[in-house]
């Protein structure tokens, strides 16, 4: 049996097709065009049908810091409790039209993301398709909860796996891959300077060892880097994506473009932190300026929000900020669909509406390629040919 979705228009990969319809058979798109017929028709008058949206930087195991600060989530919330919360986060994300996520670290919850991914894949719970990083890898003493904030004889969990020196880092990469990581997440810098400023942590040689080990295991590498030196080392080391990039210079963005390193700008996280705690370092302003520099340099820019810092299901705010800071609505939609699918290496199956792709689709009232706010008006979500309730 086939289902025909008949919206006002179909949007895919930057192109709007008025009067098109899409036929779904099983879990795949079997046809798309002006003359499409099937066994059953779903009328989506006035709506735009899009590929399922992708958020390439998320944290299902976190919830907003204005509800519970990060340290308290890591130190006081049981892993089982955090996992249960993450199930509701996954459901909210899917209902918002985001059918695929790259989840970049459990932040102190071990390998709970692997269990959540398995439960989604087996149909036990509703949620987006997941690519996961299990535990991120950080330089020894260079993450949180910050030891300096507690008694020196305290022993408590860290939000990521610590490692130092090439041998330890390679071992950590192999361990996370064995635990189910699809991506290896490294912290190239952190707020551990003498006065709390962000400085590069892993040396270039350490980062090169990590990237080589990950790539040899078939895992791409995402690097958290907010300062220019951390970004520069990541780009030289062969990282596949850089997350945040708030302090990047024109020269470093040019290096990223040359080395085909994509940027996930996480504008939403910078804005949320500024809203919650004030913005003494003008984080949101620097994020916007870096976003403009990256665009000017020709860097591949995907859509990655860092959701978890702000509420799950509100992922569309990243696209709204991308538009507010210079992208057209059409460009932002491309970033959240075909560009992200290419970054995640799933471009043959996701990110576009064409014959043979998985039927991950979202219909919204209005035309988000003109008015990005239309993404808030979700009428239908389909994942693998099944309508999400």
What DSSP element (H or E) covers 340? helix 340-343
Q: What separation, in Å, do the N-terminal and C-terminal C-alpha atoms of the chain show?
A: 20
Computed on alpha carbons and rounded to an integer, the radius of gyration of the chain in Å comes to: 21
What whole-number distance in Å separates Cα of residue 387 and Cα of residue 389? 6
Identify whether the C-beta of residue 309 lies closer than 8 Å to the C-beta of residue 62. yes
- pLDDT tens by residue, 278-320: 875 577 889 999 999 999 999 999 999 999 999 999 999 999 9
Can you say whether the dihedral through the CA atoms of 70, 74, 77, 81 is positive or negative?
positive
Q: What is the pLDDT of residue 281?
A: 59
Q: What is the pLDDT of residue 156?
A: 87
Q: What is the pLDDT of residue 139?
A: 97
What is the number of other CB atoms lying within 10 angstroms of the CB of residue 251? 12
Is the pLDDT reported for residue 119 higher than 60? yes
Domains of the chain, earliest start first: 2-51+350-387 (2.30.40.10), 53-315 (3.20.20.140)
- pLDDT tens by residue, 346-387: 999 999 999 999 999 999 999 999 999 999 999 999 999 999
| Banded pLDDT at 256 (limits 50, 70, 90) | very high
What whole-number distance in Å separates Cα of residue 175 and Cα of residue 172? 5
What is the number of other CB atoms lying within 10 angstroms of the CB of residue 72? 12
- Report in angstroms the alpha-carbon separations of 244 from 30, 226, 241, 248: 38, 6, 10, 9
Report, as an integer, the average pLDDT of 196-217: 97
Bridge-partner residues for 31, per DSSP? 23
What whole-number distance in Å separates Cα of residue 177 and Cα of residue 120? 20
């Amino acid at each position: 049996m086939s289902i025909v979705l008949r919206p006002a228009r179909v949007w895919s990969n930057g192109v709007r097709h008025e009067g098109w319809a899409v036929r779904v058979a099983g879990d795949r798109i079997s046809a798309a065009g002006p003359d499409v017929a099937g066994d059953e028709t779903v009328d989506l008058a006035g709506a735009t049908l899009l590929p399922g949206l992708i958020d390439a930087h998320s944290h299902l195991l976190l919830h907003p810091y204005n509800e519970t600060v990060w340290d308290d989530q890591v130190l006081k919330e049981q892993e089982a409790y955090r996992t249960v919360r993450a199930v509701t986060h996954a459901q909210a994300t899917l209902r918002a039209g985001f059918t695929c996520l790259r989840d970049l670290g459990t932040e102190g919850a071990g390998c709970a993301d692997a269990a959540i991914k398995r439960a989604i894949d087996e149909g036990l719970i509703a949620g987006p398709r997941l690519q996961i990083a299990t535990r991120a890898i950080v330089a020894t003493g260079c993450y949180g909860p910050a030891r300096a904030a507690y008694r020196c004889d305290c022993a408590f969990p860290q939000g990521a796996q610590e490692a130092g020196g090439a041998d330890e880092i390679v071992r950590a990469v192999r361990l996370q891959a064995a635990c189910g990581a699809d991506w290896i997440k490294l912290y190239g810098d952190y707020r551990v300077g003498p006065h709390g400023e962000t400085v590069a942590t892993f040396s270039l040689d350490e980062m090169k060892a990590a990237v080589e080990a990950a790539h040899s295991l078939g895992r791409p590498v995402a690097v958290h880097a907010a300062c220019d030196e951390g970004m520069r080392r990541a780009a030289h080391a062969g990282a596949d994506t850089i997350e945040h990039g708030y302090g990047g210079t024109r020269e470093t963005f040019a290096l990223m473009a040359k080395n085909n390193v994509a940027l996930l700008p996480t504008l939403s996280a910078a804005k949320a932190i500024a809203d919650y705690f004030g913005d003494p370092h003008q984080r949101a302003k620097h994020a916007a300026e870096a976003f403009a520099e990256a665009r000017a340099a020709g860097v591949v820019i995907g859509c990655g929000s860092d959701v978890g810092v702000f509420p799950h299901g509100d992922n569309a705010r990243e696209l709204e900020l991308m538009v507010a800071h210079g992208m057209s609505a059409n460009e932002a939609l491309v970033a959240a669909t075909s560009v992200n699918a290419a970054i995640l290496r799933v471009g043959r199956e996701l990110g576009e509406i064409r014959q043979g792709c998985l039927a991950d689709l979202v219909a919204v009232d209005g035309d988000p390629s003109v008015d990005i706010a239309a993404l808030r008006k979700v009428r239908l979500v389909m994942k693998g040919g099944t309508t999400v309730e």
